[in-house]
Structure 1
Amino acid sequence: MAEESGGEKTEQPTPKKLQDAAKKGQIARSKDLGTAVVLIASAASLLIFGKMLAIAVLNIGQRLMRLDQKDIFEPNSMFTAWGDAGRELAAPLSGIFLLILVASFVGNTLLGGFNFSWEAAGPKASKMNPMQGFKRMFGLQALVELIKSILKVAVVVGVAYLLLKLFFMDIMALSLMSEPNNIESALYFLGWLFLGLCASVSIIAVVDAPYQLWNHTKQLKMSLQEIKDEHKNSEGSPETKGRIRRTQMQMSMKRMMQQVPTADVIVTNPTHYAVALKYDQGKFRAPVVVAKGVDEVAMHIRKIANEHKIPVLESPALARSIYYTTKLDHPIPEQLFAAVAQILAYVYQLKMYRKGKGSRPKSLAKDLPIPEDVRH
């Protein structure tokens, strides 16, 4: 029973599941919402540019119905007339088409946002499968679309009847009006009738949009096991993460050990801690920790130091303080400047003595000046 309950898709889709679905072109879309926005924009554009369009149509009609004597003997008069007609219609039609173009983009991205998927655009064998086609034709989604279509027809027919009944006397009065008022009024009534019909379609869109969101989420719901598997795949299994951490540590350790030969001195505990210090007066304002470690790592640092004849000095308190207060490739804190300065001075004097340029330095002080707040 536990396995069965784990397989039930009761959980909301994760952001990764939604993102993967979007890459495949599976997003919430409402065709009715896009259609309603385009139709309403078309009606609005007709109301906005209707008067300009009516004047253009009237001018074109007068131009084409008028035949001057010069037009009879002019072979290009027909082309000139069509050019005039195009110029008359350019402004109103451009405005109408621009509004419809913007509305088509906005209406189809209101739900689900803008999304383009090459995977969705590519051919799919399932779309050519007759059995899959029958399932789509007689499935739940097809039934919902059929019900919506019936409702749309019923709503549009009902609203059309009410609008025609409301404007019937005004429409009949158009025959008594003179031009261009009759054309302007006809386009005005046509725009409002069209807008009313389009608004009726928006009723279906208001119902369809939430349904499409709900249906999209339902299709992408996940089981608890799927969420666990997704988290495991995205974060990686503990074994894989452990191997990655070990590899990173090994690489970091290798880089650190490569810096030991560049150090000026190694300060030890003497067995448990070891820190390698490098001081370049022209480059650093303070000595920098190029390597540090405890136990086996400390022993390896001392081994490399002995191979490259780097001075190894015992100062347990200072070694612990530097180890716990300073990160790799970072300068030591100001509180340790005095103690480290004595270490570096001793190393410098020791180098000069070995080169025969000075006397043997005095033994390093056991109690170096280390403030209590940096002691460990």
Structure 2
Amino acid sequence: MAESEDGQEKSELPTEQRLRQAREKGQIARSKELGTAAVLLSGALGLILVGGSLSEAMSKVFKSSFTVERAALFDPESMMPALGSAILGVSWPLMGLFLIVLVAALVGNSLLGGVNFSSQAMMPKLNKMSPIKGLKRMFGVQSMVELLKSVAKVVFIAALSISILMGQIENILSLSGETLHAAMVEATELVMYMGLLLCMALLPIVAIDVPFQIWNHTRQLKMTLQEIKDEYKNTEGKPEVKGRIRRMQQEMANRRMMADVPEADVVVVNPTHFSVALRYDQSAPGAAPKVVAKGMDEVALKIREIAREYEIPVISSPPLTRAIYFSTKIGGEIPDGLFVAVAQVLAYVFQLNNWRKGKGNRPTPLKEDLPIPDELKV
């Protein structure tokens, strides 16, 4: 198992962030064998597709090249038109073949790892110029694996090539006794057949190399437990810093909430722990009372303090206060089940305000047992 520089075992799979950073540096799983196989197989298949037209074009080029009039042999200016005609004759089949190979090269090299552009990978690295590190890379595990893989590939392909060639030796020798056109057609078919067999021989190599490259890439990016912890801290932030940020955010939210308390119509309280400030917009038909502020303990005391400062009625109703506190959010409307209870509180408050302005009689004290549904009682 690989170890880090501090001796810790790299036993954990790389995280998404580690994989993303490696990709940005150009470190992705790649299989050269996959790209090579894709190019060669596409070339063989492309040759099968355009082989007929290519052999026909080459046959015409040979005929025109060897059936030259005597006057043309002594005319230097006739060489360039003849060359241009020969090139033009085989260009279209070859362009089709080249296009197929080009597409296969792009697709084959991006099947494993995808398309990736990394500016960091193009930057010069001085550590790669170190002779000592170069020797380590030359005699490292990766280099030895690549060497053994190359030797095995050469031996395997050479043995298969000799086997295919020996199996077709009679057909190859028989080409000399055929006409030019027949020889060209049969030679093209032989090349296509042997080329396709040789290219298909790369498939077992690819089947071994692709899983190995994926495994090796994952192994190189494995992390220690300490690296994962450090990454989490750097990503999510240290606990003490996160706690401080949360406190600051809470303080800012409380300040914004306190600024809305003067707009409340009433503050209902549980005298020891909770305070809830309510506002009812009578100009909006069908609107329900909203919670503009709520809090516990010190925040509850601060809400009551602001309410007294702005002469907002403070009503003590512990069951209603707890029900509103635990069933609503700041800025949200009260639940349907509390409409009747809150309506009685608001009616009392509006009558109280009118009495203070000398516009009515003193209201009857609010009942202590306000109607609160059992499911909202806390």
Normalised by the size of structure 1, how large is the TM-score? 0.89
Corresponding letter in the other structure for 1:249: Q
Take 1:110 and 1:322, find their aligned partners in 2: how far apart are those partners? 59
Q: Secondary structure at the match of 1:290?
A: strand
In structure 2, the CA distance between the partners of 1:113 and 1:354, relative to structure 1 (3 Å rule), is same
Take 2:158 and 2:244, find their aligned partners in 1: how far apart are those partners? 69
Take 1:283 and 1:100, find their aligned partners in 2: how far apart are those partners? 73
* CA-to-aligned-CA distance 1:183-230 (integer Å, 9 cap, x gap): 122111111222222233333333322222222222222222223323
Alignment-derived partner of residue 23 in structure 1: 24
Take 1:230 and 1:332, find their aligned partners in 2: how far apart are those partners? 44
- State the shift of 1:82 in Å: 6.0
Q: How does 1:30-179 map to 2 (within 5 A)?
A: 30-63=31-64, 85=86, 88-179=89-180
Q: How does 1:213-362 map to 2 (within 5 A)?
A: 213-281=214-282, 282=284, 285-362=287-364
Q: Secondary structure at the match of 2:277?
A: strand
Q: Secondary structure at the match of 1:7?
A: coil
Identity of aligned pairs, percent? 50
Take 2:198 and 2:240, find their aligned partners in 1: how far apart are those partners? 63
Corresponding letter in the other structure for 1:251: M
Corresponding letter in the other structure for 1:261: P
- State the shift of 1:85 in Å: 4.9
Alignment-derived partner of residue 368 in structure 2: 366
In structure 2, the CA distance between the partners of 1:329 and 1:80, relative to structure 1 (3 Å rule), is farther
* CA-to-aligned-CA distance 1:33-72 (integer Å, 9 cap, x gap): 2112211111111111111111222234445556689999
What stretches of structure 2 of length at least 5 have no aligned partner?
none
Q: Give the conservation status (yes or no) of the 8 Å contact 1:271–1:299.
A: no
* CA-to-aligned-CA distance 1:5-60 (integer Å, 9 cap, x gap): 97122333233322222221112212122112211111111111111111222234
Corresponding letter in the other structure for 1:242: G
* CA-to-aligned-CA distance 1:152-194 (integer Å, 9 cap, x gap): 2211211111111111111122222224332122111111222
Take 1:66 and 1:285, find their aligned partners in 2: how far apart are those partners? 100
Stretch of structure 1 that moved more, 7-16 or 22-31: 7-16
Q: Give the conservation status (yes or no) of the 8 Å contact 1:52–1:92.
A: yes
Alignment-derived partner of residue 180 in structure 1: 181
- State the shift of 1:122 in Å: 1.6
Q: Secondary structure at the match of 1:289?
A: strand
- Aligned residues between the structures: 373
Take 1:364 and 1:79, find their aligned partners in 2: how far apart are those partners? 112
Corresponding letter in the other structure for 2:256: R
Q: Secondary structure at the match of 1:180?
A: helix
In structure 2, the CA distance between the partners of 1:222 and 1:296, relative to structure 1 (3 Å rule), is same
Alpha-carbon RMSD across the aligned residues, in angstroms, is 2.9
* CA-to-aligned-CA distance 1:229-263 (integer Å, 9 cap, x gap): 23333333321222122122112212211221221
Stretch of structure 1 that moved more, 18-27 or 172-181: 172-181
Take 1:183 and 1:367, find their aligned partners in 2: how far apart are those partners? 107
Q: Give the conservation status (yes or no) of the 8 Å contact 1:6–1:225.
A: no
Corresponding letter in the other structure for 1:344: L
* CA-to-aligned-CA distance 1:48-105 (integer Å, 9 cap, x gap): 1111111222234445556689999x99987766665565444422321222122212
* CA-to-aligned-CA distance 1:288-310 (integer Å, 9 cap, x gap): 11111122111100111122222
- State the shift of 1:314 in Å: 1.8
Normalised by the size of structure 2, how large is the TM-score? 0.88
